[in-house]
Amino acid sequence: MDFSITKDDEAAAAAFDRFCQDKIAPRAAKADAASTFPKETWGDLKEIGFFQSFYEGDYGLGLPWVQRCMMEESLAKACASTFLTACAHIGLCGAPVFYFGTPEQKQRWLRPLVDVEQIGCFGLTEPGCGTDAAAIKTRAKKSEKGWVLSGEKALITNAPIADFAVVFAVTDPEAGYGGVTMFGVDLKKPGVTRSAPYPKMGLRASPTGGLTFEEVALSDDDVIGEVGQGFIHAMQTLELGRIGMCHFGLGIAEAAYDCARKYAGERTAFGRPIARLQAVHFKIADMKIEIDAARMMARRVAWMKSKGEMVGPMASIAKAYATEMAVRVADAAVQIHGGWGYTTDFPAERYLRDARLGPIGEGTSEIQRELIARDLFAE
């Protein structure tokens, strides 16, 4: 395995990391406290080329996966809310259009996402089901002019601010997995309403909410991919999302490690820095071990993607480990800060709140284990 990238790509990733630390990280605490995504961040990410890093051809720079993943890690390290909102916009929402859309659909929907003229979201989860995605109730019925969409989506990143959504709906209730179709929906259409942002445990600067569709008129041109292929396209998109979530976990863990290490060097107890106490410095060593292990898993998946290999269970292994690791590392960072770790004077508590999404979003840890075990026991 060779995870190396060219010197130029390495320099570009390092420049992006500096940008994240200089521009994005200083906004994170305030954005979290205000539960608001900083508007200027959209323009800054566009200017630095973040939204160009996902696709190739007319819609991006075709960066190597390892480089793109390093950038995602840098962004999550600087501000996990920014990672979530930006990646839901260009990744979760953009990927189905890029991989399964027609040239006309890419021009209509992906172009404005890459150029940040519109904000995107990905609508799969519903109030009654998330993991069991084939049980969705949102329905698109064939009409003379196209389709009529009715139903409700919940827990959708960017729903409160989005202009465009990729929406999954049942088009043939008799066909099970084969009866789901993916649509591109302009959220300004009559019949679309959205909830206010939900108050959340963490990732507060990334707005999460619900979308309701009441007899929204869609045309055949709004179908992305084939009718009846929506479930498969959703799973393919979520597999890519898992790679992103590895880097979400890695980035948060890195940030938590940095702040814990710094604090342990400064805080004294019993006449010496707490970093000299074995209980504390072993904890910091454990954080480092776990981060390193997760990074190897994440890089392996990125490297496999670069070679065009199927990542399947490797993405699940890396996603489950990296996101659970981030919770453990952020928790250790709070512990190392003692009582101050429990206050908002230090970012450790935010890292812990933010990290907690990792084992839930884009396929829970339980479902990752299910996928890994299914592969292990496959006949």
Ligand X SMILES: Cc1cc2nc3c(=O)[nH]c(=O)nc-3n(C[C@H](O)[C@H](O)[C@H](O)COP(=O)(O)OP(=O)(O)OC[C@H]3O[C@@H](n4cnc5c(N)ncnc54)[C@H](O)[C@@H]3O)c2cc1C
372 touches ligand X by CB under 6 A: no
Smaller CB distance to ligand X: residue 92 or 180?
92
360 touches ligand X by CB under 6 A: yes
DSSP designation for 58: G
364 touches ligand X by CB under 6 A: yes
Gap between the Cα atoms of 185 and 168, Å rounded = 10
The 77-106 site mask, x for binding ligand X (CB under 6 A), equals: -----------x---x--------------
Residues β-bridged to residue 183: 167, 223
The 155-194 site mask, x for binding ligand X (CB under 6 A), equals: xxx-------------------------------------
208 touches ligand X by CB under 6 A: yes
Of 101, 92, 218, 233, nearest in space to 150 by CA: 218
Gap between the Cα atoms of 251 and 296, Å rounded = 14
Q: Does residue 359 sit in helix, strand or coil? A: coil
Smaller CB distance to ligand X: residue 170 or 284?
170
The 117-136 site mask, x for binding ligand X (CB under 6 A), equals: ----xxxxx---xxxx----
367 touches ligand X by CB under 6 A: yes
Smaller CB distance to ligand X: residue 248 or 303?
248
Q: Which residues have a Cβ under 8 Å from the Cβ of 286 and sit 6 or more positions away? A: 332
Q: CB of residue 278 vs ligand X: minimum separation in angstroms?
A: 36
Q: CB of residue 131 vs ligand X: minimum separation in angstroms?
A: 3
Q: CB of residue 121 vs ligand X: minimum separation in angstroms?
A: 6
Q: Which of 334, 357, 358, 371 binds ligand X (CB under 6 A)?
A: 357
Gap between the Cα atoms of 315 and 370, Å rounded = 13
Smaller CB distance to ligand X: residue 135 or 310?
135
Gap between the Cα atoms of 183 and 54, Å rounded = 21
Smaller CB distance to ligand X: residue 105 or 208?
208
Of 234, 224, 217, 232, nearest in space to 149 by CA: 217
Gap between the Cα atoms of 4 and 6, Å rounded = 7
Gap between the Cα atoms of 306 and 284, Å rounded = 33
Phi then psi for 356, rounded to 5 degrees? -65, -20
Q: CB of residue 51 vs ligand X: minimum separation in angstroms?
A: 17
Residues β-bridged to residue 121: 165
State yes or no: is 362 an active-site residue: yes
Structure tokens at 136: 């969705």
Residues β-bridged to residue 120: 164
Rg from Cα positions in the chain: 21
**Which of 362, 366, 370, 379 is an active site residue?**
362
Q: CB of residue 8 vs ligand X: minimum separation in angstroms?
A: 33
Chain residue whose CB lies nearest ligand X: 130
How many residues bind ligand X (CB under 6 A)? The answer is 24
Q: Which of 73, 361, 368, 371 binds ligand X (CB under 6 A)?
A: 361
Structure tokens at 282: 């072993």
Are 88 and 157 in contact by the 8 Å Cβ rule? The answer is: yes
Smaller CB distance to ligand X: residue 287 or 352?
352
Residues in touch with ligand X (CB under 6 A) = 88, 92, 121-125, 129-132, 155-157, 203, 208, 357, 360-362, 364, 366-367, 370
Active site residues: 362
